[in-house]
Structure 1
Amino acid sequence: MLEISDLEVAYGDVGALWGVSLHVDPGTIVALVGANGAGKTTLLRTVSGLLKPKAGDIRLSGQSITGKAPQEIARLGIAHVPEGRGLFRQMTVLENLELGAFQPKARPRTKELLEKAYTLFPRLKERAHQKAGSLSGGEQQMLAIARATMSEPSLLILDEPSLGLSPLVVQQMFALIQTLHGQGVTILLVEQNIHQALKVADYAFVLKTGSLAMQGTGADLIADPEIQKAYMGVLE
């Protein structure tokens, strides 16, 4: 579904990604993990059109989306839940969700998509007329993901969905991600909780200072001593 080839990205004269190639197959969860500053968010922002690459190609379902505007990429089927959630805090839960269905293909089905979102996130239905900024951190993250699903994306990109959440809510968040996966949603996941990310991932890529360092199934990487030592606090 998503194919990234030899991607290079820089902020001015400062390089951020060098020759990164990865793929996301339809119906899978793919995790992108690594230390802070490795380039994970940069890669997601480039896929979504928020950053322009210096070199390389990005393809969605065989069609090049390299350098396209964010709104065009969204129209082609990518929904990006950014780190920090990006909610309209002074608008209600319902208004945020309705904005998620702004795409032409989704707009006529807003009511149906709302009910689908409320089924998956029942707490949001209870808080439909509350302002988004009044929700708890976990509820705000649920709203951000629910809003993204309102466009029925072919690829859902999640950037640090567990950031700032309590351990219990983190467990709930990953259960929701697995539920979405079970419904056939393809997910590209960047996550600080590497153990949880690899547990749910079908496949994973490890970024290290802007380059691809390792790749493999989630199960293989979670058992890898190098990954354990570097990212999970397992000592020799």
Structure 2
Amino acid sequence: MLEVTDLEVAYGDVRALWGVSIHVDAGSVVAIVGANGAGKTTLLKAISGLVPAKRGEIKLSGTSLLGRLPEDIARLGIAHVPEGRGLFRQMTVLENLELGAFQPKARANMKRALEKAYDLFPRLKERTGQKAGSLSGGEQQMLAIARATMSEPSLLILDEPSIGLSPLVVQQMFQLIEALHKQGVTILLVEQNIHQALKIADYAFVLKTGELAMQGTGAELIADPEVQKAYMGVLEL
């Protein structure tokens, strides 16, 4: 579904990604992991058109995404949940969800998409008229993901969905991601909770200072001594 080939991204004279290549198969969960500053968020932003590529290619189902505006990429089927969630805090849960269906096709299917979102996130249904800014951190993250699903994307991109959440809520968040996967949603996930990310990932890529350092199935990387050594402070083996 998604093919990123020899991607390079720079901020001025500072190179953030060096020749990175990844792939995401339809129906899979793919994790991008690595330390802070490895280039994970930059990779997601390049895919979504939020930062320009200096070199390389990005294709979604054979269609090049390079040079396209973020809204055009969204229309092609990518929904991006950024780190920090990006909610409209003074708007209600329902209003935020409705904004997720801003595209004409999504608006036509809004009722069905809303029912699916509330089925998966019943806590949001209980708070449908509540302002987003008054929700707990976990509920806000649920809302951000639910809003992204309102467009019924072919690829859902999640950037650090567990950041700032308590251990219990983190577990719940990964259970929800697995539930989305079981519904057939293709997911590209950036996550610093490496152990949890690799547990649910069909395949994963490890970035180190802007370069691809390692790749393999989630199970292979969890068992890899190099991954264990490099992330011993993060992994809970």
TM-score (norm 2): 0.98
Once residues 73 and 140 of structure 2 are traced to their aligned partners in structure 1, the CA distance between those partners, rounded to angstroms, is 24
Q: Deviations over 1:175-219 (max 9, x none)?
A: 000000001000000001000000000000000000000000000
Instruction: Tell me what 2:86 maps to.
Output: 86
Once residues 120 and 172 of structure 2 are traced to their aligned partners in structure 1, the CA distance between those partners, rounded to angstroms, is 12
More divergent stretch after superposition (85-94 vs 107-116): 107-116
Q: Does 1:188 align with 2:206?
A: no
Instruction: Tell me what 1:35 maps to.
Output: 35
Q: Does 1:205 align with 2:205?
A: yes
Residue 17 of structure 1 deviates from its aligned partner by 0.2
Indicate the SS of the match to 2:50: coil
1:128 counterpart letter in structure 2? T
Once residues 75 and 13 of structure 2 are traced to their aligned partners in structure 1, the CA distance between those partners, rounded to angstroms, is 31
Once residues 209 and 170 of structure 1 are traced to their aligned partners in structure 2, the CA distance between those partners, rounded to angstroms, is 26
Residue 234 of structure 1 deviates from its aligned partner by 8.3
Asked whether the 8 Å contact 2:194–2:234 carries over to 1, the reply is no
Residue 167 of structure 1 deviates from its aligned partner by 0.4
Instruction: Tell me what 2:56 maps to.
Output: 56
1:148 counterpart letter in structure 2? A
Instruction: Tell me what 1:144 maps to.
Output: 144
2:103 counterpart letter in structure 1? Q
1:79 counterpart letter in structure 2? A
Q: Does 1:215 align with 2:215?
A: yes
- Detail structure 1 runs of 4+ shifted over 4 Å in the superposition: none
Once residues 234 and 224 of structure 1 are traced to their aligned partners in structure 2, the CA distance between those partners, rounded to angstroms, is 14
Q: Does 1:65 align with 2:59?
A: no
Instruction: Tell me what 1:16 maps to.
Output: 16
Once residues 135 and 234 of structure 1 are traced to their aligned partners in structure 2, the CA distance between those partners, rounded to angstroms, is 28
Residue 229 of structure 1 deviates from its aligned partner by 1.1
Indicate the SS of the match to 1:106: helix
Structure 2 unaligned residues grouped into runs of 5+: none
1:159-178 equivalent positions in 2, closer than 5 A: 159-178=159-178
Residue 66 of structure 1 deviates from its aligned partner by 1.1
Structure 1 unaligned residues grouped into runs of 5+: none
Indicate the SS of the match to 1:105: helix
Instruction: Tell me what 1:109 maps to.
Output: 109
2:87 counterpart letter in structure 1? L
1:50 counterpart letter in structure 2? L
2:144 counterpart letter in structure 1? A
Q: Deviations over 1:6-25 (max 9, x none)?
A: 00000011100000001000
Asked whether the 8 Å contact 1:137–1:164 carries over to 2, the reply is yes
Indicate the SS of the match to 1:144: helix
Residue 232 of structure 1 deviates from its aligned partner by 3.0
Residues 234 and 174 (structure 1), Cα distance of their counterparts in 2 relative to 1, 3 Å cut: closer
How many percent of aligned residue pairs carry the same amino acid?
Answer: 83
Once residues 33 and 162 of structure 2 are traced to their aligned partners in structure 1, the CA distance between those partners, rounded to angstroms, is 14
Asked whether the 8 Å contact 1:198–1:219 carries over to 2, the reply is yes
Once residues 12 and 213 of structure 2 are traced to their aligned partners in structure 1, the CA distance between those partners, rounded to angstroms, is 24
Asked whether the 8 Å contact 1:5–1:19 carries over to 2, the reply is yes
Residue 233 of structure 1 deviates from its aligned partner by 2.7
TM-score (norm 1): 0.98
Once residues 47 and 11 of structure 2 are traced to their aligned partners in structure 1, the CA distance between those partners, rounded to angstroms, is 15
